[in-house]
């Protein structure tokens, strides 16, 4: 393991736990620093004891580099491999093995931590056949949402990568913001070009129940929308096993009439997302049960913002197992061709 591989592995493992992002940032930054060094410099600095004089290298990152250079598996990696394992029950394992891809993932085109290629290669390493890239839309300025021009640029990058990574498929998607009036935050022509569209509400989550119901129903009924993302918008203060990284961000579920929203999902063939993020776990169990009563399609998605978070699908698989969701209702169990065909053709009312 080279020092660069070791630092990247630390970042990956910290990402799959809920480590505070500042802590991960130090390792990500150190990886960027040593990636730029001329060959031999690290070895010279370790021999001369000047490694920590490099800007961006501290005691923790320096220890990982030094141990990797000595041909050891750094102790931090040994510890993290053991402590950050994402748990998965036997019944959940059956679901995990049936999943062929993930329909919700971010890159540094919006607020993700890394490139389309790194996310896609990680998904491939995890056994997936495809990954849908779903960066944010323009109104979500805090997340550097993509305007039409940048989304078109991203589509070119995806097309280029697809030639190199075949038969693995990177599907072009978006997490389009559901605006207050239920309209969508991207050009309809562009939405029509995408393979898979996830639609989510990110602002005005406390709006009054009738207005929120109308907002979600209108979005779900759009011919462009394939998956309703994190439907309640809740963020948990604790995940049960550990506190979330920023408890200040905790927020309650949005208020809406779930019968109407899920009836609309069923009517228009729009899937309800099981969002696997530990701080979201959306929808809550009673709502998921209701979506299943309505025979909605389900999509088990990580909403990963970093490669290590792609492993969070295990949480959704356990949830699916607890609710005994029929396999064929889960869109990620379908072949990629069937998924794309469904996304293009489910009923539009």
Bridge partners of residue 131, in order along the sequence: 102, 170
> Which of 175, 185, 282, 301 is close enough to bind Zn ion by CB under 5 A?
175
Identify whether the C-beta of residue 176 lies closer than 8 Å to the C-beta of residue 202: no
Stretch that binds Zn ion, among 117-125, 195-203, 285-293, 306-314 (CB under 5 A): 195-203
Q: How many residues bind Zn ion (CB under 5 A)?
A: 3
Q: How far is the CB of 205 from Zn ion (least distance, A)?
A: 11
Told to check if 275 binds Zn ion by CB under 5 A, we report: no
DSSP-H helix ranges across the chain: 3-16, 21-35, 41-48, 59-69, 75-83, 90-98, 116-125, 148-165, 188-193, 209-221, 258-268, 285-293, 313-322, 336-345
Residue 301 interacting with Zn ion (CB under 5 A):
no
> Does position 299 bind Zn ion by CB under 5 A?
no
Contact of 189 with 151, CB cutoff 8 Å: no
**Of the two residues 200 and 222, which places its CB atom closer to Zn ion in the complex?**
200
Q: Which is nearer to Zn ion, 3 or 173 (CB)?
A: 173
Q: How far is the CB of 202 from Zn ion (least distance, A)?
A: 6
Task: List the Cα angle 330/194/97 in 5-degree steps.
Answer: 25
Number of neighbours of residue 125 by Cβ within 10 angstroms:
10
The total of other beta-carbon atoms located within 10 Å of residue 143's CB is: 18
Is 135 a binding residue for Zn ion by CB under 5 A? The answer is no
Identity of the residue, 81 or 246, whose beta carbon is nearer to Zn ion in the bound complex? 246
Task: Pick one of 303, 317, 318, 331: the residue that binds Zn ion (CB under 5 A).
Answer: 303
Q: Shortest distance, CB of residue 303 to Zn ion, whole angstroms?
A: 4
Region of 267 please: left (phi>0), alpha (psi -120 to 50) or beta. alpha
Which tokens hold the place of 210? Answer: 């009738």
282 contributes a contact to Zn ion by CB under 5 A: no
Q: Name residues contacting Zn ion, limited to 305-344 (CB under 5 A).
A: none
177 makes contact with Zn ion (CB under 5 A): no
Residues near Zn ion (CB under 5 A) are: 175, 200, 303
């Amino acid at each position: 393991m080279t020092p660069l591989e070791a630092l990247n592995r630390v970042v990956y493992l910290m990402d799959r736990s809920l480590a505070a992002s500042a802590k991960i940032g130090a390792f990500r930054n150190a990886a960027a620093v040593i990636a730029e060094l001329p060959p031999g410099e690290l070895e010279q600095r370790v021999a001369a004891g000047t490694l920590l004089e490099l800007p961006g290298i501290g005691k923790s990152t320096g220890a990982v580099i030094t141990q990797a250079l000595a041909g050891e598996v750094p102790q931090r990696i040994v510890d993290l491999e053991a402590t950050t394992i994402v748990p998965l029950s036997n019944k959940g394992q059956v679901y995990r093995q049936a999943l062929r891809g993930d329909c919700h993932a971010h890159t540094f085109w919006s607020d993700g931590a890394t490139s389309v290629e790194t996310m896609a290669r990680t998904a491939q390493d995890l056994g997936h056949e495809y990954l849908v890239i779903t960066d944010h839309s323009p109104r979500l300025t805090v997340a550097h949402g993509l305007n039409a021009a940048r989304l078109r640029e991203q589509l070119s990058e995806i097309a280029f990568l697809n030639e190199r990574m075949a038969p693995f498929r990177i599907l072009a998607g978006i997490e389009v913001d559901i605006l207050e009036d239920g309209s969508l935050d991207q050009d309809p022509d562009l939405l029509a070009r995408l393979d898979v569209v996830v639609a989510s509400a990110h602002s005005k989550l406390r709006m009054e129940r009738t207005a929120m119901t109308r907002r979600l129903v209108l979005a779900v009924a759009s011919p462009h929308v394939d998956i309703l993302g994190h439907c309640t918008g809740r963020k948990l203060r604790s995940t049960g096993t550990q506190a979330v990284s920023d408890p200040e961000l905790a927020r309650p579920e949005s208020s809406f009439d779930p019968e109407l929203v899920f009836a609309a999902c069923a009517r228009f063939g729009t899937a309800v997302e099981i969002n696997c993020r530990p701080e979201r776990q959306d929808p809550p169990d009673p709502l998921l049960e209701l979506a299943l009563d309505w025979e909605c399609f389900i999509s088990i998605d990580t909403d990963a913002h970093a490669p290590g978070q792609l492993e969070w699908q295990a949480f959704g698989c356990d949830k699916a197992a607890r609710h005994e969701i029929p396999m064929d209702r889960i869109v990620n169990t379908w072949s990629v061709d069937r998924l794309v065909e469904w996304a293009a053709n489910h009923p539009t009312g």
